[in-house]
Chain A
Amino acid sequence: MSNQWLLLWSDHPTVSVMVWFTIIVLVLYLGRHQAHNLLSSIGQGVYSTMRLWSFTLRRLEQALKQRNREVLLAEGARACEKSIEREFERVNDLVKRELSQYPTLHREISEAIESIENDYQKSSDITPLPPAWGDVVETITALPNNGDSTVNRILSNIKKAVEDSHQQTLKAYKKAAAERHQLLASMQPNWRKLNEKMGKVNEKITGLDDRSNAIDEQMKKYEAIRANSDSAFSALSSSALTQFFISGLVLVVAILGGLINFQLIAMPMSEMVGGTSYIGAMKTSDIAALVIILIEIAMGLFLLESLRVTHLFPMISSMDDRMRKRMMIVSFSILFILAGIEASLAYMRDLLALDREALQQSLSGMSATAANAEFRWIPSIGQMTMGFILPFALAFIAIPLESFIHSLRSVLSVLAIGVIRSLQVIVRIIGGIVRHTCNALIQLYDLVIMLPISMERLYNSKRNPNHLSASSATTVTEKKSSSKGKKNKRQTMDDDLAIDTMVDNLNQTIR
């Protein structure tokens, strides 16, 4: 069929092809302007559309960034407020606990000081000398000595009396000194006691000082957040990302713990619900084991919510105290019962494994091994303990879960912003490629019909003078550029209107 068309004009293929080529070139030449307009409008149309999309994506990105900033700062402010509140509560507790005992402390310090003062007073008393004892001694020494034996005797008696008296005085002095030393020694415990009390006061003052420093730090942070500063925003962003990864890691560990727990109870569950029943692709016994684990996690969630450790369910934390306490008791009781059930299931698993092992041995023709039967209780106890402890460990999953959910929004926003930026670039590239491709196609079109174009140019240059062709070209150019300008202006206005409408719609969707 195609051969028939090819050889339509002549039996000679070359001639026929030449004729076809001439017809095609003629047709293309005649439709040159239309073809140019078509390609040009396609290129421009796609370029404008892509540019419009790019602007829209940019506005969307900015809106998303703004929203992300607002949310992050609001959450940061809330966290700061809670932190400051907690610090003030600590200060309040400290003041109530420690300074409420201050009168007692003050009294003890005063008593210690009084006791020390009394002891000091007592230790400063000295044994008084006998009255006018010095005058007597002087008088006697002033007495003349005439060699009289009586006087000598009297003087020696006086000397003996003085010496005796001196000894007694010395004794008394020593005794008094000893008593004073004893008093001073007895002051030591009071000094120590006083020192201890003062140390306690110092501790309390230091504790208050630390708390007030912490409050100052938190207040600075809070002020930076309220001031909407970039540094506060960056700090909060990196904090959210850090929280995301840390809580994600802890959740992964918890999930692995959950898997171990699942392995522990899945087999014995088939004894309870049957091993042949399926719900979809999963065994009913596996689903039952999974449900038990999920209930334990839920009970842990409710328990921690009741204790106000986590705040995932505002309804629970806003309950009155009596109801909250009841909820706490109920959720802990259910958790405890489930832990007991798991421990018994873990033991049953051990028995089932033993039974299966014995069967395998009998089927393979081996005699049952009773080696190490005395240590058989160790893995059983181990499994039971694990079955009991794991539910309580899984109950704490609520804490990293809350942190993960809090930080997830920020991380998703960052990812979304990244995706939108990439899309912007891609969209601009596509627009540019299409426009340039259309321009290239226009040039290719002219290349194919270059012969008639060259002939037209030659004809025009011979027939029309230069200034006429230049002025008409200028007129045409001016008309074209003015109409293009108006068109561009109109297009830009339309684009802007379209962008605004789309961004408004998207903003509403995000909110």
Chain B
Amino acid sequence: MKTTVKICLSILTMSMLLVGCDTKGPSQRAVFFLIDTSGTYTEELNKAQSIMNYLLATLDSGDSIAMARIDSGSFSEKDIIAKTTFDTRPSTANDQKRLFKHQIDQFVDSLARGSANTDITGGILQAAEYVNETQAEEKYILIFSDLEEDLKVGHIRDFPIELKGINVVALNVTKLRSDNIDPRDYQNRLNHWQGRVTQGGGEWRVLNDLERLDKLIKTR
């Protein structure tokens, strides 16, 4: 009887120890959301808000999120609208989410007009710097833009971008009037950005159907 009790207890202890071995927990995530505020694309910002709400609902304690605008010169901390890393405590994380949402809503309401130029590369560089700093295992850069870059005179952006281990997702890539004249322009634009991202070591994806946001980032 004593032997049986000892054997049962030792099996229980061993199994508990083995459970703790070798396997790692779920990875942390970092998401940087770039929204194009140039020209007429500002009319799409309410869609950006719903994407942001989805991200806030999906991300968890320990994850990081930031939102920045794409304007004439995007490689600047001043373009970051809001950023946060969610606290380990769920209640504090919920408050942070509420504050973040409030900041985004305020920004969207206060935006009067779009910028004259579009510096997508600068925004991506800023985003890559942020997500790499968080040292998260899963890194995402979401680009809410028509991907039509229009740099200011004197801005140099024609160099490779280091995007190793980063998932770049283009959202709501709307078709321009020129794309209607020659649809190849649209595909060329997508291919150009895909080439830049993959050459930099990143993963490229396009998601135009906002009904399929569940495919945006991996859920735990």
A residues contacting B by CB (< 8 A) are 267, 270-271, 274-283, 312, 314, 352, 355-356, 359-360, 362-365, 405-406, 408-409
Q: Which residue of A lies closest to B26 (CB)?
A: A278
Contact A408 B4 (CB under 8 A): yes
| Residue from A270, A274, A283, A356 in contact with B25 in the complex, judged by beta carbons closer than 8 Å | A283
The 8 A CB mask of B125-156 against A (1 = contact, 0 = none) is: 00000000000000000000000000000000
Contact B53 A280 (CB under 8 A): no
Contact A352 B91 (CB under 8 A): yes
| Residue from B19, B53, B56, B57 in contact with A281 in the complex, judged by beta carbons closer than 8 Å | B19
**Chain B residues with Cβ under 8 A from A352's Cβ?**
90-91
Inter-chain CA distance A171–B88, complex, in Å, is 107
Q: Which residue of A lies closest to B52 (CB)?
A: A363
Inter-chain CA distance A363–B19, complex, in Å, is 37
Contact B4 A405 (CB under 8 A): yes
**Chain A residues with Cβ under 8 A from B25's Cβ?**
278, 280-283
Inter-chain CA distance A283–B91, complex, in Å, is 17
**Chain B residues with Cβ under 8 A from A356's Cβ?**
90, 94
**Chain B residues with Cβ under 8 A from A280's Cβ?**
19-25
B69 at the interface (CB under 8 A from A): no
**Chain A residues with Cβ under 8 A from B2's Cβ?**
314
B residues contacting A by CB (< 8 A) are 1-2, 4-5, 8, 19-26, 28, 53-54, 56-57, 60-62, 88-91, 93-94, 97-98, 101
- Smallest beta-carbon distance B42→chain A, Å: 20
Contacts A283-B25, A362-B98, A363-B57 given: A275-B93 contact, CB under 8 Å? yes
**Chain A residues with Cβ under 8 A from B28's Cβ?**
276
**Chain A residues with Cβ under 8 A from B91's Cβ?**
271, 352, 355
Inter-chain CA distance A365–B1, complex, in Å, is 63
Q: Which residue of B lies closest to A351 (CB)?
A: B91
Contact B94 A277 (CB under 8 A): no
Contact A362 B101 (CB under 8 A): yes
Inter-chain CA distance A277–B87, complex, in Å, is 11
Contact A276 B90 (CB under 8 A): no
Contacts A278-B24, A280-B19, A283-B25 given: A360-B90 contact, CB under 8 Å? no
Inter-chain CA distance A312–B61, complex, in Å, is 43
Contact B19 A275 (CB under 8 A): no
Inter-chain CA distance A466–B4, complex, in Å, is 74
Contact B5 A276 (CB under 8 A): no
> 10 closest Cβ contacts across the A-B interface?
A278-B25, A274-B88, A276-B62, A275-B61, A280-B20, A281-B23, A363-B53, A276-B88, A359-B94, A276-B61
Contact A363 B4 (CB under 8 A): no
Inter-chain CA distance A363–B102, complex, in Å, is 10
**Chain B residues with Cβ under 8 A from A275's Cβ?**
60-62, 88-90, 93
| Residue from A270, A282, A365 in contact with B19 in the complex, judged by beta carbons closer than 8 Å | A282
**Chain B residues with Cβ under 8 A from A355's Cβ?**
91, 94
**Chain A residues with Cβ under 8 A from B21's Cβ?**
280
Q: Which residue of A lies closest to B28 (CB)?
A: A276
Inter-chain CA distance A441–B85, complex, in Å, is 76
Q: Which residue of A lies closest to B57 (CB)?
A: A363
**Chain B residues with Cβ under 8 A from A406's Cβ?**
1
| Residue from B53, B90, B98 in contact with A270 in the complex, judged by beta carbons closer than 8 Å | B90
**Chain B residues with Cβ under 8 A from A271's Cβ?**
89-91
Q: Which residue of A lies closest to B61 (CB)?
A: A275
Inter-chain CA distance A274–B25, complex, in Å, is 14
Inter-chain CA distance A270–B89, complex, in Å, is 6
Inter-chain CA distance A409–B5, complex, in Å, is 11
Q: List 16 A-B contacts (CB under 8 A).
A: A270-B61, A270-B88, A274-B89, A275-B89, A275-B90, A277-B88, A278-B24, A280-B20, A280-B22, A280-B25, A281-B20, A282-B19, A356-B90, A360-B57, A363-B57, A405-B4
Q: Which residue of B lies closest to A408 (CB)?
A: B4
**Chain A residues with Cβ under 8 A from B93's Cβ?**
275
Contact B97 A363 (CB under 8 A): yes
**Chain B residues with Cβ under 8 A from A314's Cβ?**
2
**Chain B residues with Cβ under 8 A from A276's Cβ?**
28, 61-62, 88
**Chain A residues with Cβ under 8 A from B19's Cβ?**
280-282
**Chain A residues with Cβ under 8 A from B90's Cβ?**
267, 270-271, 275, 352, 356
Q: Which residue of A lies closest to B89 (CB)?
A: A271
Inter-chain CA distance A365–B91, complex, in Å, is 20
| Residue from A281, A363, A364 in contact with B24 in the complex, judged by beta carbons closer than 8 Å | A281
Contact A405 B97 (CB under 8 A): no
Contact A409 B4 (CB under 8 A): yes
Contact A312 B88 (CB under 8 A): no
**Chain A residues with Cβ under 8 A from B5's Cβ?**
312, 405
**Chain A residues with Cβ under 8 A from B1's Cβ?**
405-406
Q: Which residue of B lies closest to A75 (CB)?
A: B1
Inter-chain CA distance A362–B94, complex, in Å, is 11
Q: Which one of B22, B61, B89 has the highest number of Cβ atoms from chain A below 10 Å of its Cβ?
A: B89
- Smallest beta-carbon distance A420→chain B, Å: 20
**Chain B residues with Cβ under 8 A from A282's Cβ?**
19-20, 25
Contact B88 A364 (CB under 8 A): no
Inter-chain CA distance A200–B83, complex, in Å, is 85
